[in-house]
Structure 1
Amino acid sequence: MALDFSAVLSGNYGQMIVQGMEVTLELAVGAWLSAMVIALVLVVMRLTNHRILTFFVAAWVSYHRNVPTLIQLMMWYFALPTLLPESLQMWINDRNAEFIFSMIALGLCQSAYFSEDIRSGLRAIPAGQTEGARALGMSYLRAMWSVILPQGIRNAWPALINHTVLLFKNTSLAMAIGVAELTYVTRDIENQTFRTFESYAVATVGYLACSLFLMAVGAVLARRFQRAYAR
């Protein structure tokens, strides 16, 4: 059988691929934002050196880094909703439960990686930075937000970019719970057209292009951070 990419790119199939990529990007952006917010909270909690908070963050990181992401997705979609009131289950189901739970699961999982990346970046900051901020009358939270965290994020930027690319690729796991992202629609198109190579080749190019774009943006921002720091 001769290769024919038009068979999977034309008509409804092309529209399905575009819609699948849109869902993939929406899922990745939503999970990234939630992961970064949670990661910053986890870092601040851990830096307080409070025993209970430190234990909580360590347990959070250990769970999300050692349990397969696919298991976490299934836990959120199949198991945890059974603990909710029936009315709340129906409300969530009416609002695309598959997408909501996959975004939550991916965001929580990635927050563990982001928090460790940022914590590693903070270790490279001299202790005098914190002492100087407090000496200027800043509170702990103000010093962390205005002085320490920006430097820690800059130091952790390469690792954060790598894990951002990993998060983008892990959105493909959401197909396991029925999210119509790029991998899901690719399999659907392959089942309908029997154009296996063409279908997965298009998906491969889509994932590769987005991943390379993320890495390029990360490299540009890293150079800007370095120039700003050099000043």
Structure 2
Amino acid sequence: MSSRTEARAAPGAVPPTGDDAAGLRVVPARHPWRWAGTAVVAVLAAMAVNALVTNPAWDWPTVGRYLFAPSIVNAVLLTLQLTVLGIVVGFVLGTVLAVMRLSPNPLLRSVSWTYIWIFRSVPLILQLLFWYNLALLYDRLSIGIPFGPSFVEFGTMELVSPVTAAVLGLGLHQAAYAAEVVRSGFLGVDAGQLEAATALGIPAWRRFRRIQLPQAMRIIVPTAANELIGLVKGTSVVYIMALSELFYQVQVIYTRTGRVIPMLLVAAVWYLVLTSALSVGQFYVERYYARGAQRTLPPTPLQRARAAVSGRRRRGATA
């Protein structure tokens, strides 16, 4: 709302007060371009929904028939397994690489930088093929004294299965990106706070847990969530290893049935579900680490729904 008089006040005039102010007419602020933009977006959204619903080429009955088919559900479970293992391997190793990159030791810094350089430079699909064909390079792996005799030997073909090769490829590739994400979070914390905590005699572990980590996580979480969502979709690359994950299974079915578009929609729906679940988790993790940085935490969807219901009740009671 904004208030204004019918005529522009003369320069140097005294603002009206008391009874004079009571005669002012209150005019609501108008936003014509905002309403025009809203109308255009609403029409485009309605056209998009209409195109999805009325076009028979999408073949929604076939989508519904295969969405929860046992082969598709098993493929989704394998996709989840690859994602979780890739996340664990990637971020555990990535944290170690970030600490090495921040270390004053030149050897540790050099090794970490070289690892990140190589694994970010080589495409993921090539890394997966290298791990899948590891037996062509080393037919046996051994455990023993470095540059000396070995105590135990394993056949590479039996030790590195296709699933193991996929996890290694995804995890080691993700570690290079996770290392930079974690390092950026630690570098984003003001060094003066750590110096002040050291001067106060706060132990190193407590400084890390109470001062550095909470602030670093506010920087790490958004970027890390993007990496996790990318890893969910990146699991589709393992189709080259004939692993029955979601995208590979969809290809098998539409090659047999010829239903290309509806089967691609099945994969799209499942990827939307998985990435949406990760986005919800990201919201709550960000909200948790926002404590102390914001005066008021952003409301959760449940809190927004409750506020909307209570607002309607109050308006109904006053009507």
TM class by smaller structure: 0.7 to 0.9
* Counterparts of 1:142 and 1:58, CA distance in 2: 28
What is the Cα deviation at residue 215 of structure 1? 2.0
Per-residue deviation, 1:77: 1.0
Q: Which amino acid aligns with 2:72?
A: I
Which has the greater radius of gyration?
2
TM-score (norm 1): 0.86
- The one-character-per-residue Cα deviations of 1:105-127 (angstroms, maximum 9, x if unpaired) are 11111111111111112222111
Q: Which of the two has greater helix per residue?
A: 1
Is 1:187 aligned to 2:251, yes or no? yes
Q: Which consecutive residues of structure 1, in runs of 5 or more, have no partner in the other structure?
A: none
Closer/same/farther in 2, CA of residues 9 and 147 from structure 1, 3 Å limit: same
Residue in structure 2 matching 1:196, options 256, 260, 280: 260
Contact map agreement 2:71 2:249 (CA 8 A) in 1: yes
Structure 1 residue 5, shift from structure 2 partner:
4.9
Q: Normalised by the size of structure 2, how large is the TM-score?
A: 0.64
Contact preservation (8 Å) 2:197, 2:207: yes
* Displacement over 6 Å in runs of 4+: none
How far residue 92 of structure 1 moved from its aligned partner, in angstroms, is 2.2
Match of 1:216 in 2: 280
Instruction: Go from structure 1 to structure 2 and tell me whether the alpha carbon gap of 1:155 and 1:2 turns closer, same or farther (over 3 Å shift).
Output: closer
Identity %: 30
How far residue 230 of structure 1 moved from its aligned partner, in angstroms, is 3.9
Q: 2:238 is matched with which residue?
A: 174
Query: Residue deviations 1:175-231, cap 9 Å, x none?
Result: 111211000100111112111111111001111221222123212321222134447
1:99 to 163, 180, 196: 163
Q: Which runs of 5+ in 2 are unaligned?
A: 1-55, 142-153, 296-319
Check conservation: 2:66, 2:266, Cα contact below 8 A: no
> 1:153-194 CA distances to partner (integer Å, 9 max, x unpaired)?
322211111111111110000111121100010011111211
Correspondence for 1:41: 96
CA distance in 2, matches of 1:12, 1:110: 29
Higher strand share: 2
- Structure 1 CA distance for aligned equivalents of residues 97 and 214 of structure 2: 15
Counterpart in 1 of 2:8? none
Which of 186-195 and 18-27 deviates more? Answer: 186-195
- Aligned residue in 2 for 1:131: 195
SS at match of 1:74: helix
Q: Larger relative CO (CA 8 A, sep 6+): 1 or 2?
A: 1
The match for 1:23 among 78, 83, 103 is 78
Equivalent residue letter for 1:67: V
